[in-house]
Homo-oligomer: A and B are copies of this chain.
Amino acid sequence: MDNFEFVSPTRFIFGRGVENQAGVKLAERGAKKALLHYGGKSAIRSGLIDRVKASLDAAGVGYVELGGVRPNPEIGLVREGVALCKQQGVDWILAVGGGSVIDSAKGIALGAFYDGDVWDFFAEGKPAGEVLPIACVLTIPAAGSEASMNTVVSNDELQRKAGYGSDAIRPELAFMNPEITFTLPAYQTAAGATDMFAHLLERFFDETPAVPVTDNLNLSLMRTVRAEAPRVLAEPENYDARANIMWAGMLCHQGYAGCGRHEDWATHGLEHELSALNPAITHGAGLAVMFPAWMTYVHKENPERFAFYGREVFGLAPTGDADDDALNAIDATRSFFASLGMPTTLAELDVREDDIEKMIPTLQENQGGEFGSFKRLTMDDARAIYRLAL
């Protein structure tokens, strides 16, 4: 078990109607003027933004609005948000949306008290200084950004997608109402569940031995996602199913599922290049393609670990051969993603063999050479994994 330092200070307000508490909770914490940050039209059309505004009005918390966050949020809007916060004396950010909106809010929080260009944090991994506190009303359970220390932002000009992590940008408040997710399209629901599951896989497959407490917790969440994802797809308005998957999505990326382990994160690195290449590729869909390919490529490093995973998550019977067990576990993973309606090949995402070389330079730049932990990967390994995914 590795030494670690861990904190997850987010306060979760979970259940029906909790978005209506946003104003009161912000006012209690001294908020005077919030940046109300959101994405496209669905949050407006559904009346959610109006409910949140009414809650802020009722509590006497002022706000300025910045909508228009796109999937795979872009640094341009983050810069706009930073400028707005500085001009308007914003003292809290209230993000209403899914991972993209919350990630964008985290970028703005980082830049709000910084004199240089906020991209510096992403380009150079610059340590966070003073940041604006963040609250969020979650609309898409997937990325776990409502409690995580991470944000991922794209830079279209540089054709780059870069991640940043710091405890300073963990949200202080997360309002989670499962009812808000009843109208999520099936594809987005499925991509969200895949993203959750991938957050667990990244933490489960590394070389750290002997952390059963964390493994058991991680596997329990895998079993939950495996059982609840089909249920939300079959019954989109089943409150309990939506509630379980929403809470699971937070737990999958909060960090407890990896405490004491090195963690891997190679597959997220490989996937980020896909959506840098084509921002229309949903993160979860990219992960559904890349994870089985990565698994196939690396499983010989420790087939017993894959066999253990297959038994515990998919109930696979041992064959007597760990390598066969590992391959069965990988097949089960691929089938699980496919059963949710996720793609299984890069072709389905319109990514072709000659796209691979377009991704390698930025992969190299983002990863700084070798990456991953279960197996250290070179750029040639990355090429091979992309090819396995074609």
Query: Footprint of B on A, CB under 8 Å?
Result: 1-16, 18, 178, 209-214, 216-217, 219-221, 223-224, 227-228, 239-240, 243-245, 247-248, 251, 256, 259-260
Contact = CB atoms under 8 A, between A and B. Distances in A.
A284 to B, nearest CB: 19
Contacts of A260: 14, 243, 247
Contacts of A220: 216-217, 219-220
A6 to B, nearest CB: 5
Nearest to A209: B240
B213 A217 contact: no
A7 B217 CA distance: 19
Contacts of A5: 11-14
23 contacts: A1-B178, A1-B244, A3-B15, A4-B12, A5-B13, A6-B12, A9-B9, A12-B259, A14-B260, A209-B240, A211-B244, A212-B224, A213-B221, A213-B228, A213-B244, A213-B245, A214-B247, A216-B223, A217-B217, A217-B221, A243-B260, A247-B259, A247-B260
A357 B209 CA distance: 52
A243 B12 CA distance: 28
A227 B11 CA distance: 32
A225 B223 CA distance: 19
Contacts of A243: 1, 260
A212 B242 CA distance: 12
